[in-house]
Amino acid sequence: MRAWENSLVVGMLQTADYARHVFNAYVDLHQSPRDIDEAVRARIQRQELLYRPGKHYHFIMWESALRALMCPPTVMAAQLDRLSGVIGLDTVSLGIVPFEASLTLPPANGFWIYDERLVIVEDWHAELWLDQPENVALYRRVWETLAGAAVYGADAHKVITRCRRALGAP
């Protein structure tokens, strides 16, 4: 599984407090029922998949996702600590596209690629499920372009640390 996010931390890596703030924002926007506690529980439970052998997740986020304050600075600081903690997991590759990276495509909307057969694209009001080979191939090319601009390992950790310092949180 691969995921690209340009404005929020990828859901599979969100802390419960961060996820709660994100869900609250969308509940308010869509004026939908407030089942936030259940949504947070489901998101956190799904993260157990990150620790299953045989699975691999490759996440890429634009630096703006690490700086967008959808929550109080202390919650964001804990979220950034969580991201630092997944660097080095056998089942996770985390890439960060820093602001100073040279880009050949704009860092547009978030999307997920599932097993080279399905792409889910998120918009304000809907998810698009794309399974036609030409669409999957297009998003694969976008993925490869963005992945090429990302930094990993110690370099990704430096970007996360820089974002955390900018918060001024303890």
pTM (two decimals): 0.90
Separation CA 35–CA 102 (nearest Å): 41
pLDDT value of residue 170:
61
Q: What is the DSSP letter of 7?
A: S
- For residue 167, is it left (φ>0), alpha (ψ between -120 and 50) or beta? alpha
With a cut of 80, say whether residue 161 has pLDDT above it: yes
Query: Which residues share a beta bridge with 93?
Result: 58
Contact 48, 57 (CB under 8 A): no
| CATH class of the region 2-13+50-167 | alpha beta
pLDDT at 169 over 70: no
Domain ranges of the chain: 2-13+50-167
Averaged over 87-108, what is the pLDDT? 94
What residue type is 98 in one-letter code? P
